[in-house]
């Protein structure tokens, strides 16, 4: 029986990628599971420069966004800014998810909330990763903040690259075709997983299969992790063609 799920997305105002890559993956999922259909609904938080002050001000708007999306009776909400969550302190994704879910409960339209930060952390656990290599678009101080957050969750970062792109629109314009060359310059031999984009704004989906073939390593992105969390939260098979190891079907919950 066909069912249509409403996907809510809490999105930075300057984000142009979350509303393309996640829908692309969920619609690709529908080619394998034709009874699973999706519609997409967004609410935006103001943010232009990827700096800690703007990120904190933006995060304060997330409660309003959760409330607005719950008016639409969405089935799940995805908070689409990894660095905004990680900039708020270690473990903040748990606090954010709990608080925003409570906003939906208070509105009489309970919906689970996923953050891209929490989804990435949980995906690394699902993949049983211990060591990772990581690419991020942020300036070096924010990249180190992200790495500290991930390390606090129990992972070792063996190598990393910060692309130092301060403007969030420019992050969205970064050519994913450049990513294989960036990874080729890294020392990823000891990594269990390569995080090709620790940011849902930096496009990466077109490069995932190429980097997996080039390195022989599983490749993960924040958007892939978010899509996996959305599918599993809805009780659906986490399978998407061409979206890397995590969504290959090898990590379906019943197989864990």
Per-residue pLDDT tens digits for 160-190? 999 999 888 899 999 999 999 999 999 999 9
Query: Which of 103, 93, 206, 87 has its CA nearest to residue 147?
Result: 87
Distances (CA, A) of 242 to 2, 61, 228: 23, 34, 13
Using CB atoms within 10 Å of the CB of residue 141, give its burial: 0 to 12 exposed, 13 to 18 middle, 19+ buried: exposed
Distance CA 179, CA 188 (A): 14
Distance CA 210, CA 228 (A): 20
- Is 199 among the residues known to form the active site? yes
Tens digit of each residue's pLDDT (9 = 90 or more) over 208-226: 999 999 999 999 999 999 9
% of the chain exceeding 70 in pLDDT: 95
Tens digit of each residue's pLDDT (9 = 90 or more) over 2-27: 999 999 999 888 888 989 999 999 99
Tens digit of each residue's pLDDT (9 = 90 or more) over 36-84: 999 999 999 877 666 566 676 777 888 899 999 999 999 999 988 877 7
Tens digit of each residue's pLDDT (9 = 90 or more) over 129-148: 999 999 999 999 989 999 99
Show the domains of the chain with their CATH numbers. 3-116+224-244 (3.40.50.12500), 119-222 (3.40.50.12500)
Given 69, 81, 83, 222, the catalytic residue: 81
Place of tokens 């994913």: 176
Alpha-carbon Rg of the chain, whole angstroms?
Answer: 17
Collect all residues with Cβ–Cβ distance below 8 Å to 38 and sequence separation of at least 6: 4, 5, 6, 7, 23, 26, 27, 30
Q: Looking at residue 52, what is its pLDDT?
A: 63
Quick check: helix, strand or coil at residue 255? helix
Given 10, 87, 199, 205, the catalytic residue: 199
Place of tokens 């709990």: 98
- pTM, rounded to two decimals: 0.94
Tens digit of each residue's pLDDT (9 = 90 or more) over 88-101: 888 889 988 999 99
Query: Which of 148, 204, 211 has its CA nearest to residue 185?
Result: 211
Q: Looking at residue 48, what is its pLDDT?
A: 65
């Amino acid at each position: 029986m066909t069912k249509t799920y409403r996907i809510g997305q809490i999105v930075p105002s300057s984000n142009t990628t979350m509303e393309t890559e996640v829908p692309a993956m969920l619609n690709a999922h529908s080619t394998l599971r034709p009874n699973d259909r999706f519609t997409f609904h967004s609410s935006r938080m103001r943010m232009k420069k990827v700096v800690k002050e703007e990120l904190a001000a933006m995060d304060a708007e997330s409660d309003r966004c959760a409330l607005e999306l719950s008016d639409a009776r969405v089935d799940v909400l995805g908070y689409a800014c990894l660095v905004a969550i990680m900039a708020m302190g270690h473990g903040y994704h748990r606090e954010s998810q709990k608080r925003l879910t409570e906003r939906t409960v208070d509105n009489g339209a309970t919906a689970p909330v996923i953050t891209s930060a929490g989804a990435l952390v949980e995906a690394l656990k699902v993949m049983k990763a211990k060591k990772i290599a990581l690419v991020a678009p942020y300036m070096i101080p924010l990249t180190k903040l992200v790495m500290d957050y991930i390390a606090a969750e129990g992972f070792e970062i063996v190598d990393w690259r910060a692309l130092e792109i301060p403007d969030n629109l420019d992050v969205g314009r970064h050519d994913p075709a450049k990513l294989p060359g960036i990874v080729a310059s890294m020392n990823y031999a000891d990594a269990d997983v390569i995080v090709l984009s620790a940011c849902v704004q930096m496009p990466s989906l077109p490069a995932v299969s190429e980097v997996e073939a080039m390195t022989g390593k599983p490749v993960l992105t924040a958007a892939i992790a978010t899509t996996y969390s959305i599918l599993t939260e809805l009780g659906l098979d986490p399978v998407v063609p061409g979206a890397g190891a995590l969504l290959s079907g090898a990590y379906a919950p019943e197989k864990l």
